[in-house]
Amino acid sequence: MLQNKDILELKRRFKKEACTFTRMCGCYVDANKNKVVEINETFLNLEDEEFYKYLEIAKKALSGTIGNNLLELSFNKEEEEAGGKQQYLLGLRESGLRNPELLSHLYDMIIENYDYVGNYLILLFHDAYDVITKTNDDLKLDESEEVYTYLLCAICPVNLSKPGLGYREAENRIGVRIQDWVVGVPDVGFLYPSFIERSTDIHTLTYYVRDAKDSHADFIEAALGCGPKRTATEEKDTFHAIVKRAIAPIIEKSDDVLLDIQENLHTLVEEKEAEMEDLVIGEPEEFTLTPEIIKEVLTQSEIPDATVTQIQDHFVEEFQDAPPAVKHLVDEKAIEKNQKAKKELKLLEEVASLRQELKERDEISSDVSLRINPEKADQIKTEMIDGQKYLMIPVEENEQITLNGVETTV
């Protein structure tokens, strides 16, 4: 399983004194899918300014959250056979990026399947990392465990810089700034083979996507030969859409109900994580959503049985053999905001209650404090008896009376 510590171990080497990239190749593609220029460089021979810029791009292609921006993808079965894309990538890796035909084939595969409107730059880095053995307490030993040889690819949009004014040094005046084509941060990329538990895994690649709302599933299958995999954001959006489509026709405030469902899921995750902390050593298995959990959570939110069944059926149809992790379906920011709003509302209610209590106490501190049903108010009258003025209130037999908080009858 892909872990943060493995990604961080690689990225820590992406600096001047530790970098061992042997070669960097690339292809600049215009909006009409034409190859404008190809590059082929010994990476360590680059000028410092270029060196650091390219290194920054390499870091970005391994950035973000595992499960959302970084996905561990497995090859389709046929792609691991002779002539498959896994075999091709292995050959490209072994060539050290020195085979023009293999490089051209990669560029062609990306150009054909990468759905992007505009110019972009394909960059490919080759590296051989001498993995030093570590003890159980993470102390390094001065001996090699294996040599991890890999390819890192980054596909970067290239956009025209914004127009504006600038200082034109040759003319010594302020004038219109010359617009340049600027390479941006990677949109998608991949690391092959994956680096799993400090070792080479030729059966998977690590896929990067900048915008987790769109994993480019078609590109994953067609260009890389891997089965598609949703990002955590895509899983959340898909599940929320299933629920809202089902409850919107029968529940007016569907957004509030969806938030309530997320809070129930959030509680389940917290309970499960607390349980796993006591039972599991190492990386615990992901707590995935099942139709049974859906029924439990939706029942808590008082969703009708027929609607629960509808949501269960759509969930099974949509996710099939790849159920999402429960934690991926929860919008933490929305829950935090809602909990904050609930606390504020509760505080306002408590303040209002205290004010009412103080008001009632003030009334009781008067010589006479009277609260009466408005229907009896016009029956109240005063009367002099033996020179003493009395307040007269007519009452029926067994009529309920509360006197200074004590209920009584007459």
DSSP for 230-260, written as a single string: --HHHHHHHHHHHHHHHHTTT-S-HHHHHHH
Q: Is 308 exposed, middle or buried (0-12, 13-18, 19+ CB in 10 A)?
A: buried
- The answer to whether 378 and 393 are in contact (CB under 8 A) is no
76-96 confidence digits (pLDDT tens): 999 999 999 999 999 999 999
The 10s digit of each residue's pLDDT in 151-206 is 999 999 999 888 888 888 888 889 888 888 999 999 999 999 999 999 999 999 99
Report whether 323 contacts 288 (CB < 8 A). Answer: yes
Domain total in the chain: 3
Q: 374 and 361 in contact (C-beta within 8 Å)?
A: no
Tell me, yes or no, whether 263 and 130 share the same domain. no
**Residue burial 74-87, b: 16+ Cβ < 10 Å; e: rest:** bbbeebbeeebbbb
pLDDT at 257: 86
Q: What is the pLDDT of residue 366?
A: 57
Give the other-Cβ count within 10 Å of 262's Cβ: 23
Contact assessment for residue 151 and residue 125, using Cβ atoms and an 8 Å cutoff: yes
pLDDT for res 232: 94
Determine the pLDDT at residue 81.
Answer: 92
Are both 32 and 58 inside the same structural domain? yes
Is the residue at 336 inside a domain?
no
DSSP state of 66: B
Assess whether 115 and 192 both reside in one domain: yes
Domain assignment present for 90: yes
61 shares its domain with 111: yes
Structural domain contains residue 355: no
- Domain residues for the domain of 92 are 4-229
**Domain match, 270 and 311 both:** yes
Residue 384's pLDDT is what? 83
Q: Are residues 392 and 280 in the same domain?
A: no
Query: Considering 273, 297, 330, which residue would you say is the last residue of a domain?
Result: 330
**Six token digits for residue 172:** 């010594």
For the packed helices 100-113 and 85-94, what is the interaxial angle rounded to 10 degrees? 140
To the nearest 10 degrees (0 to 180), the angle between helices 254-279 and 232-247 is: 130
CA distances from 336 to 256, 274, 331, 340 (A): 14, 20, 9, 6
The answer to whether the CB of 250 falls within 8 A of the CB of 307 is: yes
Q: What is the pLDDT, as a whole number, of residue 283?
A: 58
Examine the domain organization and report whether 27 and 171 are in the same domain. Answer: yes
pLDDT digit string, tens, across residues 318-328: 998 788 988 88
Q: pTM of the full predicted structure?
A: 0.78
Q: Which residue has the tokens 């394909």?
A: 122
Same domain, 169 and 76: yes
- Report, as ranges of residue numbers, the positions in the chain whose pLDDT lies below 50: none
Q: Are residues 163 and 208 in the same domain?
A: yes
How far is it, in rounded angstroms, from Cα 121 to Cα 292? 47
Return the pLDDT at 67.
Answer: 93
237 and 308 in a single domain? The answer is yes
Indicate if 96 and 156 belong to the same structural domain: yes
pLDDT at 278: 61
Q: Residue 298 belongs to what H/E stretch?
A: helix 291-300
